[in-house]
Structure 1
C-alpha cells in the first residue's frame, strides 16, 4: 500500500505503550448518554459492533493496513460514535493493543463521550504546549485500549496537521509494534481540508454514511476528495432494516471494498 507522503523522513515521536498510561474507569453514565455500548459484551446492542469488528479485522489483515482513519462526508453522521464503539469492540477481543486518536482538532468529542476531563490533548502536543505524550493518553481500565483525546482548538488545525510535529506524531504511531491497531477519528471531509491532510499519513479510511442524511453524490464526492488514499469500506449508520432490527437497535453496517 502506497501513501502519498514518505513518512520515513520524519523522526518518530515516542508513543507510550498502553501499560505506561494512566488508567481510568470510563463513566457509565456518559457511555449511556452517548450510546457507547462497545465495551458491554452482554448488551445486545453491542452485537452489530462485534460483527463489524470481525469484518474490519479481516479487511485490515488483507490490506496490511495499521493506521486507519474514520471520517464522514459531513458533521453529525456518527463517525465519533462509530470510532469509539468499534475501538471498544476491538479491544474486548484483540490481544494486540488498540489506540484511538482524536484528530478532529476543532470539534473533538471522544473525551466527553467517555466522561473524561483532560487538561491537555493531542492538539497541545502538536502546538508544543504539551511535551509529554503520556500526559494526553489514557488507558481504559479492563480493556486493551488507549485513548488520546483532544481539546478543541479554535483555529490553525490544518496548519498543525500539515506540520512537522504531526508528521513525527504519525511516524510514532507507525513505529508502534506491528500488531497494534490504530484508529483515528478524523474531521468530516466537507468541514475543511483537515481530513485530506491527515490521510496523507494513514493507510486508509472508513467512511461513515448516515442512511437518512448522506446522499450518493456526497459519498462519491468525499471519496474523490480523499483520493488516492484507499477507502477500506463504508459503514451505514442509522440504518433501518439491517442486522440491528432483531436487537431493536438503530444501527447497521455495510462494509464495501472501494479499493
Structure 2
C-alpha cells in the first residue's frame, strides 16, 4: 500500500467536511448511557458509580506513586478478559468515566480491540479513523484522530480500520513511540485501553506486555477456572494485575462488580 493509499483509507473513516488537522469533538448522549447503567457525571450515586469508585482507587494510587514502589507506565491501564462477552468494554468505559471525574486527571480511552471494536458503538458513535490508521500512516498525527467529548476530562482514540497485521503493528516500534507520546505528553493523563480477549487473539497479550497495569475482567459463574488460569499465564510478564469479578448476581434482576488485587 502506498502512502497515498494509506491516507485515502484513513480519510474514508472521517466524515465528509471534517478538517484535515486538529482535534474533533463528539457529543455523548449521557442520558442514554445512564439509562444503560453506565457511569456518567450526571448519573448520581448509582451502584455502578460506587463500584467503580472502589475499583479505580488502587489503580490511581499506583499511577500517583502512593504505593510502596512506583509503577513504570502506571498510567497505561489495559482492560481485558479471557473470553468475549465478559463485560470488558463495559468495564473499560465505566472505569474511564469514573476516573474522568477526578479533579486533577484527564483520561484517554483507547479502543484497542482492533478486530472487533465496540467502544464507539456502545457510546452511540459511528466509525472513525484511529489507532490502526496512525500505525500505518506516518502522515497522520494523534490530534487528527483523537475525539474530544462533552465530558470535559475524557477523550477517545478509536480503533480505526481493521488490519490483518494488527499483532505486528501493536508490537512495532511505531506503537512503542505512540504509547510514549500518549502517556508522557500530559503529566495528568491516564490511558485506558479496551483490549481484545486474551484467549481469542494474540494482540491482547502483545498489548498487555507494554502496559503498566492490567485489569482482567472475569464473568461470574461463566468463565471457567481453566480459562482464567490460561489468561493469567499469558499475562505472566505483567507485574501488576487486578481482577474484576463481573456480573455477580446479588439479588434477582441485579448485578454488581467484585474487585480483587
2-structure distance, mates of 1:213, 1:38? 28
**Corresponding residue SS for 2:44:** coil
2-structure distance, mates of 1:48, 1:26? 22
2-structure distance, mates of 1:186, 1:160? 14
1-structure distance, mates of 2:144, 2:89? 22
Aligned pair in 2 of structure 1 residues 130, 149: CA closer, same or farther (>3 Å)?
farther
Aligned pair in 2 of structure 1 residues 129, 227: CA closer, same or farther (>3 Å)?
same
1-structure distance, mates of 2:161, 2:258? 29
Unaligned runs of at least 5 residues, structure 1: 1-19
1:151 maps to 2:160: yes
1:56 maps to 2:59: yes
Aligned equivalent of 1:86, options 79, 91, 95: 95
Deviations 1:57-105 (A, max 9, x none): 2344425311111110011111110000010011012411111111111
Unaligned runs of at least 5 residues, structure 2: 1-21
**Corresponding residue SS for 1:207:** strand
Aligned pair in 2 of structure 1 residues 140, 220: CA closer, same or farther (>3 Å)?
same
TM-score, scaled relative to structure 1: 0.80
Contact 2:75 2:191 in 1 (8 A): yes
Report the equivalent of 2:27. 25
Contact 1:223 1:231 in 2 (8 A): no
Report the equivalent of 2:13. none
The structure whose residues are more often helix, as a share, is 1
Aligned pair in 2 of structure 1 residues 129, 174: CA closer, same or farther (>3 Å)?
closer
Report the equivalent of 1:42. 44
Report the equivalent of 1:252. 257
2-structure distance, mates of 1:175, 1:109? 26
Contact 1:240 1:250 in 2 (8 A): yes
Question: 1:192-203 to 2 correspondence within 5 Å?
Answer: 192-203=201-212
Deviations 1:157-193 (A, max 9, x none): 1121122321221121232233321111111100121
Structure number with larger C-alpha Rg: 2
2-structure distance, mates of 1:189, 1:67? 18
**Corresponding residue SS for 2:98:** helix
1-structure distance, mates of 2:102, 2:213? 22
**Superposition RMSD on alpha carbons, in Å?**
2.4
Report the equivalent of 1:237. 246
**Corresponding residue SS for 2:117:** coil
2-structure distance, mates of 1:34, 1:160? 34
Report the equivalent of 1:134. 143
Pairwise CA distance, 1:129: 7.9
2-structure distance, mates of 1:252, 1:239? 6
TM-score, scaled relative to structure 2: 0.80
Give the stretch that moved more between structures: 108-117 or 53-62: 53-62
Aligned pair in 2 of structure 1 residues 232, 38: CA closer, same or farther (>3 Å)?
farther
